[in-house]
Chains A and B, each alone.
Chain A
């Protein structure tokens, strides 16, 4: 069952990268943090602080090669590209494979909508654009040295094998260019990377490898997705039944199956309903859907509830019931972001306020001069809607009408009667961010750089936008304002054990989770107003009628008795 279409899906994972990149900015310089004073630069960052460097996935002894024994890996190595050269000297086709991957290209041409997507160009609702800020953002690019348009995408030595394949925990990445001195300080003082050790201890990626970028999308731990954060490094069964560190302990790639360095499970082109279910033995499923392991009728067909639940599969994504809430692992996710308040200073310097304490005890910034103000959520009930897998992006070229309410940065298609959509959970992010008031488009901001135009340094939107647009040759009216935006992140991780799945009542009730979805009848939620009124009248009328009749009978029988007696 090799489906080229599905192969294209590879990319999902990547998408998060960028956000994360931008996110780095989160950990802004301690020097500007008046609360923490002289504490070490990153002591109050929530961004990629890895205390536990143990591998999440144990070496299962399956590999037929022990990389410590390879001569070419003995070194000495001075840099990443030198290690890559060594890798590619044996893995001769890996570079070619990898270069097609969205982890490398940061580009995705949507086969159906024709939209040009990918982190390279997209706008998001967090740090808004990686474009032009690669010096910072591309530290989550699986390559070495992308800081501007001069990066060579054809040079295989620029591939970063280690970020995914390091099993020591000693490898790390830093921004590819220095930002404003206020920012660069947080990347100082790190232990040098022991290149030889790292090169000799490579393996299949564990959750910490993927997580180094994907847990931190949006600029900090759990910020973007709500179902991906550092708590998944070693989750409990309750948090994620598949990744349960003491149980199944799945790696990301257990579901995001890989072929030629292309990963199943795209967020740009989501398979919202897998109607094929299980593959037969020997067949390869290049999809990351629940159905590809659990089939299309995953509940017991021998009892009524199971039969009824299987009947839901055509309309309800598995995730909707099996992920009761998101951000359950002690790490909060951002729900609101207001850029308008950014840029305040104290004594001429930026600062942070950390007024949110998440369940794992860490304090999260509710204000940062470089970004504005935020709100967080934990144990959050997702936003639900019909979804056919098709995301429709507002790109830098899209014109919109700001009067029409929040701009959906990645709106999506779906309806209850198109025969394809299912009800999916989303994390919905609400942001107020700058846009081009004259042209009614989004804007690229020049955030990162050690020049005077970078917002992270001068706190001047006007200049940051002007330069951001200019640098990327995007027409700009010269006038900016702020617009409300939404972004939608399909939820699929943090699958709870079955006993914690939603009960029927959560939706089938008058005030249930699906109250906002209209246009179809749902037992328990809906009723027919007039019918109910008539029904009440009939029932009530009958009751009152018989009571009256009974009363009359009683009264008259007394009268009749008196009459008979007299």
Chain B
């Protein structure tokens, strides 16, 4: 199978790649993805509730669930940051070229039935747009939420200062704004997962961890030799 791929540093190479079912999302990665998803859903739901947008939970319950979920999420983020750095996976989020191509694809190509301009590979799990989106998620929306959330949480420790009244308004504003951004991100993100070969393809991948990706000869040989990554065929 001959395809044109982007190797990540901009040069186009013609490469022979064979597709194999390999585990591209390790068990930890899937665990943190789904638990984060659940926690964010819970946080969003209870957050909107205590913001007064719905009355499905009483305030006390909403605050209690929101606080515990937030604490768990923070622990999860700490672990994941640690994981990202020890495994080197953080490189996945680095800026990649070809964002415009990907945008063009989603805006137009996908409708014409064109192939995705970006091929998934072992070291390239995310396309350029994904990296950008996740990067801003991890570096902007996420931190804005947890930083403002933490400050909000310890309100009682700073409520005595003269600026506490303005401080609370500011923190609540930032937190609420970031929450809306997070919600918007989640909606688009969930939709994007339906744009694979079949609508559930990506979702299944994130559940099972396996995807059919092109392996270079070297990767294949390495996997067969070391069994460092499981491969189904």
Contacts and interface: CB of A to CB of B under 8 A. Distances in A.
Interface stretch (B74-82, B107-115, B215-223): B107-115
Interface stretch (A339-347, A455-463, A490-498, A538-546): A538-546
The 3 A-B pairs with the shortest beta carbon distances in the complex, nearest first, are A311-B156, A535-B180, A546-B191
Interface string B101-131: 0000010001111000000000000000000
A521 interface: yes
Contact of A527 (B168, B176, B187): B176
27 contacts: A305-B60, A308-B156, A315-B159, A503-B60, A504-B63, A505-B60, A508-B59, A509-B52, A510-B52, A520-B168, A521-B168, A521-B169, A524-B51, A525-B52, A531-B173, A532-B53, A535-B179, A538-B180, A538-B184, A539-B183, A542-B187, A545-B188, A550-B191, A553-B111, A556-B113, A560-B112, A564-B113
A491 to B, nearest CB: 23
A549 B184 contact: no
B64 A524 contact: no
A539 B165 contact: no
Contacts of A535: 176-177, 179-180, 183
Contact of A304 (B68, B110, B195): B68
A528 B178 CA distance: 13
Given A419-B162, A504-B58, A538-B183, 6 more contacts: A508-B59, A531-B173, A531-B180, A538-B181, A539-B183, A560-B113
Contacts of B180: 531, 534-535, 538-539
B71 to A, nearest CB: 10
B187 A524 contact: no
B184 A524 contact: no
B165 A542 contact: no
A513 to B, nearest CB: 13
Nearest to B168: A521
Nearest to B194: A550
B52 to A, nearest CB: 5
B113 A557 contact: yes
Contacts of B160: 314, 419
B51 to A, nearest CB: 6
A417 interface: yes
Contacts of A416: 165
A307 B63 CA distance: 12
Of A310, A519, A532, the most chain B CB neighbours within 10 A belong to A532
A13 to B, nearest CB: 33
Given A305-B60, A524-B59, A531-B173, A556 B184 contact: no
Interface in A409-456: 416-417, 419
A552 interface: yes
B34 to A, nearest CB: 21
B31 interface: no
B103 to A, nearest CB: 13
Interface string B169-199: 1001100110111011001100100110000
Interface residues of A, number: 45
Interface of A: 304-305, 307-308, 310-311, 314-315, 416-417, 419, 503-505, 508-510, 519-521, 523-528, 531-532, 534-535, 538-539, 541-543, 545-546, 549-550, 552-553, 556-557, 560, 564
Interface residues of B, number: 39
B83 interface: no
A199 B195 CA distance: 95
A525 B177 CA distance: 17
B67 interface: yes
Nearest to A564: B113
Contacts of A503: 58-60
Contacts of A315: 159
A525 B168 CA distance: 13
Contacts of A520: 165, 168-169
Interface in B35-66: 50-53, 55, 58-60, 63-64
A505 B60 CA distance: 7
B176 to A, nearest CB: 6
Contact of A504 (B55, B59, B106, B111): B59
A556 B112 contact: yes
Contact of B67 (A304, A519, A549, A560): A304
Most buried by B among A305, A519, A535, A556: A535
Contacts of A528: 172-173, 176
B155 interface: yes
B184 A542 contact: yes
